[in-house]
Amino acid sequence: MLKTVAVIEGDDAAPEAMRPVVEFLGSLNIGLEFVYPVVGEAAEAATGDIFPAEAREMIDRADTTFFGSTSGKSGAALTYLRWGKGTFANVRPCVHLPGCASPLANPEGIDFAIVRENLEDLYVGCEGPLGDLAPLNLSGRTIRRPVHDLGEGRYAIKAITRAGTERIVRFAFDLARSRRRQDPSRSPKVTCATKHNMLRGSDGFFLEVAQEVAADNADVEFESFIVDDFACRLIREPQRLDVVVMPNLYGDILSDAAGGLLGSLGLAPSGCYGDDYAYFEPAHGTAPDIAGRNIINPTAALLSATMMLDHLGFEREARRIEDAVQRVYADGRALTPDQGGEASTTTFCDAVVAAL
Ligand code: ATP
């Protein structure tokens, strides 16, 4: 059955990774159709609107969206894909590929997934001057420096809801079980990281709800760490992790750290899942410093595409592509500069096609 993928290539170097991957997906002849919503600066020039209704309708009609990173006005489309489509779970698998240039002496066996809450926390986007808070008379609610004494400055709201926390933690437990089904040798475990010792009312609440959900999912091990301690464990013993669940900001920061552990942001894929829509994007940014040089590592885009194929029901093709990528890394002759190689993006993609 024909599946429609809306493609938004993104900005700076992102299209250089996205284009060959979309071309490659098309060459598989498995019934994928690609449509290209026009968003950002190009849409503004044509219609005066950075996210016109036509683009939104294309995304709505498509089975999924494949999104390159954005630095400019195409961010409006990203806002729609996250908050408009309710894609609350950002899944970022971190798997060591033998042959990749990890900074760790022993990266073998790293295989975990970060589940980042994608819609709440500090990303609700409510910020403003501290003076605006004066009428709320928060003096009785502050346990450290009273807000009215802070002088000129800004605030940001960190929102942790019961419903949002329950659904992300349940998602993490379901993912741990499904990873176990794929590989029965795995011991399913969910690790939660929060700053509950300092932020008792917000992160403490996230942890409390996570513990309640854990009690309903006793077939899966549960552990929790203070996020700074977790950051240290992430570097020292990443092989102990299976599924990690975190509020939005920590998940954003620590998944880039996890990408660094593997050897490059260019290796880190991601998928964002809601109840009735999902979209897929490499975890890295637009890499403006290497734009126009055809050296961006397309592995993150390729592996995001395999997550997308899984979502669309093409599991066999997804595994074949993952195997081909693994073979290219094990072979080591067609790696991009971030991996210590000299290959261009095109050469890397050609090697994956050959390995397939
Ligand atoms: P954002 O704020 O959108 O997350 P960022 O400012 O964190 O973006 P990135 O665009 O992710 O930055 O890039 C950080 C560094 O990693 C840059 O030096 C960039 O060239 C490099 N980088 C990112 N993605 C890749 C990739 N796919 N291949 C090679 N290098 C990459």
At 175-193, the pLDDT tens digits run: 999 999 999 999 999 999 9
CB atoms closer than 10 angstroms to residue 142: 12
**Nearest atom in ligand 1 to 284's CA:** 11
Q: Are 345 and 298 in contact (CB under 8 A)?
A: yes
- For residue 6, what are the contacts with CB-CB under 8 A and spacing of at least 6? 34, 35, 36, 37, 58, 59, 62, 64, 65, 66
Tell me the C-alpha distance between 133 and 356, whole Å: 59
Copy the structure tokens of residue 344: 């261009």
Distance 219 CA to ligand 1 centre (A): 38
Burial of 6 (0-12, 13-18, 19+ CB in 10 A): buried
Top-confidence residue, 246 or 40: 246
Q: pTM of the predicted model, to two decimals?
A: 0.94
Across all residues in the chain, what is the average pLDDT? 95
Burial 207-234 (b: 16+ CB within 10 A, else e): bebbeebbeebeebebebbbbeebbeeb
Cβ neighbours for 111, distance < 8 A, ≥ 6 positions apart: 94, 95, 96, 239
Does the pLDDT of residue 145 top 90, yes or no? no
Of 85, 158, 189, 195, which is the active-site residue? 195
* 300 contact partners, CB below 8 Å, separation of at least 6: 17, 259, 265, 266, 267, 268, 269, 270, 282, 283, 284
CA-wise closest residue to 282 among 263, 305, 260? 305
The number of helix segments (H) and strand segments (E) in the chain equals 11, 12
Q: Taking CB atoms and a 6 Å cutoff, what residues make up the pocket around ligand 1?
A: 17, 69, 264-266, 284-287, 289-290, 296-297, 300, 338
**Cβ(77)–Cβ(51) below 8 Å:** yes
Pocket test for ligand 1, best of 16, 82, 253, 265 (most atoms within 8 A of CB): 265
pLDDT in tens, 189-246: 999 999 999 999 999 999 999 999 999 999 999 999 999 999 999 999 999 999 999 9
Ligand 1 centre distance from Cα of residue 45 (Å): 27
What proportion of the chain, given as a percentage, has pLDDT over 70?
100
Banded pLDDT at 27 (limits 50, 70, 90): very high
Write down the catalytic residue from 11, 12, 121, 123.
123
pLDDT band with cut points at 50, 70 and 90 for residue 139: confident
Tens digit of pLDDT for each residue in 49-81? 999 999 999 999 999 999 998 888 888 999 999
Query: Tokens 């006005």 label which residue?
Result: 73
Nearest protein CA to atom 11 of ligand 1, as residue: 285
